[in-house]
């Protein structure tokens, strides 16, 4: 059943103007930031937002700031028209889709100091500009690679370094920065993030606290397909066989959960249970850690609330699958 069509806004100023006009009427605004190619996981975030605010903004923007030039920005899946159809089917609907062309385009400002990069890149529309200094340190995203002149980054210095941050050094810097930008453009009362990306959710929570954003951050539970695989836009890259093998993650996580519930507190034992199953299925593990739910520090023995986080690669995909 198709519902009402959301208003599509592409300009920052128009987005902010809409939010301020609505707030002046006493409305409250919920933001669900996405990179598009929507699935039931995203829809569940929108439903969470509907519980809390009168109006819903969904942003659809594949953020170059969180991809390094060697990652999969250029092959990240997208289907805007299908996304809009899915949003129209959400009970209660969506009021605005914020779909900017380029959040890092600031008009005519100078981009001095950029040098030619050369080499191959997965950044779309690459213009070849490279910040030599950032590159030297090994921290460069597709934003620097494109030579856009953007140079301000929000760093959650402790939480960004562990787990996904080890293999993807620009990732959380890019996420925290684009979320800050979206917060400043949309000015929401509530923002909803999925706990599938557990570390991301905790980083946004910490950032909101540390920078005094007046925004309530909600974490929404992992959504899984009928077979148990956590929903993710990147699942589209998996062949049926690879998908079957990737189920080793959710199945062994479930076994580890049962084992912990029955009294196993030794994290090495619990981790082995999962890593052996994923190894056996041919997965390449990026990390598999049992960590404190707040500090994200690795835990040896379960004494307080923990979360099991794993990222592993199946098939030829260029990005790891993560599933807490």
Cite the active site residues: 42
Compute CA distances 321 → 34, 188, 242, 246, 309, whole Å.
17, 29, 12, 9, 10
DSSP at 236: G
Q: How far is the CB of 218 from a copy of itself (least distance, A)?
A: 18
How far apart are the C-alpha atoms of 15 and 22, rounded to whole Å? 11
User: Would you count residue 306 as binding a copy of itself (CB under 8 A)?
Assistant: no
Q: How far is the CB of 191 from a copy of itself (least distance, A)?
A: 14
Vertex 155 angle, CA 154 and 158, to 5°: 160
Q: Which is nearer to a copy of itself, 43 or 163 (by Cβ)?
A: 163
How far apart are the C-alpha atoms of 51 and 270, rounded to whole Å? 36
Q: Which is nearer to a copy of itself, 110 or 262 (by Cβ)?
A: 110
Number of C-beta neighbours around residue 12 at 10 A: 17
The sheet that has 7-9: what strands, in order across it?
7-9, 96-98, 55-60, 29-34, 190-194, 216-220
According to DSSP, the residues that pair with 33 across neighbouring strands are: 59
Q: How far is the CB of 28 from a copy of itself (least distance, A)?
A: 13
Binders of a copy of itself in range 49-68 (CB under 8 A) = none
Q: What track of x and - describes contact with a copy of itself for positions 199 through 238 (by CB under 8 A)?
A: -------xx-xxxxxx------------------------
Q: How far is CA 289 from the centre of its chain?
A: 19
User: Would you count residue 168 as binding a copy of itself (CB under 8 A)?
Assistant: no
Residue listed under structure tokens 């453009």? 185
Q: Which is nearer to a copy of itself, 269 or 294 (by Cβ)?
A: 294
Number of C-beta neighbours around residue 183 at 10 A: 21
Scanning 79-87, 179-187, 193-201, 222-230 for contacts with a copy of itself by CB under 8 A, the matching segment is 179-187
Q: Which is nearer to a copy of itself, 75 or 184 (by Cβ)?
A: 184
User: Would you count residue 32 as binding a copy of itself (CB under 8 A)?
Assistant: no
State the number of binding residues for a copy of itself (CB under 8 A): 42
Which 3 state secondary structure label does DSSP give 158? coil
Binders of a copy of itself in range 110-139 (CB under 8 A) = 110, 112-113, 131, 133-134
Q: Contact residues for a copy of itself (CB under 8 A)?
A: 12, 16, 24, 103-104, 106, 109-110, 112-113, 131, 133-134, 150-159, 161, 176-177, 180-181, 184-185, 206-207, 209-214, 292, 294-295, 297
């Amino acid at each position: 059943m198709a519902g009402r069509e959301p208003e599509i806004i592409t300009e920052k100023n128009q987005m902010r103007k809409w939010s301020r006009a609505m707030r002046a009427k006493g409305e409250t605004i919920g933001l669900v930031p996405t990179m598009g190619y929507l699935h039931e996981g995203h829809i569940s975030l929108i439903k969470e937002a509907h519980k809390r605010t009168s109006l819903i903004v969904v942003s659809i923007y594949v953020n170059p700031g969180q991809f390094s030039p060697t990652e999969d920005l250029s092959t990240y899946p997208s289907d805007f028209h299908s996304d809009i159809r899915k949003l129209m089917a959400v009970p209660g609907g969506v009021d605005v889709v914020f779909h900017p062309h380029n959040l890092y385009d600031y008009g005519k400002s100078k981009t001095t100091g950029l040098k030619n990069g050369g080499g191959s890149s997965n950044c779309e529309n690459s213009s070849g500009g490279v910040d030599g200094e950032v590159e030297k340190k090994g921290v460069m995203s597709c934003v620097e690679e494109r030579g856009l002149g953007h140079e301000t980054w929000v760093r959650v210095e402790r939480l960004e370094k562990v787990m996904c941050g080890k293999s993807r050094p620009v990732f959380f810097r890019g996420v925290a920065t684009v979320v800050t930008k979206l917060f400043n453009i949309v000015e929401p009362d509530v923002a909803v993030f999925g706990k599938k990306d557990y570390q991301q959710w905790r980083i946004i929570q910490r950032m909101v606290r540390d920078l005094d954003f007046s925004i309530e951050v909600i974490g929404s539970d992992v959504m899984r397909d009928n077979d148990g695989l956590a929903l993710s836009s990147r699942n589209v890259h998996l062949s049926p066989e690879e998908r079957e093998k990737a189920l080793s993650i959710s199945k062994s996580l479930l076994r580890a959960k049962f084992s912990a519930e029955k009294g196993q507190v030794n994290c090495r034992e619990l981790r082995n249970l999962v890593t052996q199953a994923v190894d056996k299925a041919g997965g390449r593990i990026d990390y598999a850690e049992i960590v404190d739910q707040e500090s994200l520090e690795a835990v040896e023995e379960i004494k307080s609330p923990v979360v099991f986080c794993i990222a592993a690669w199946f098939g030829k995909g260029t990005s790891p699958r993560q599933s807490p």
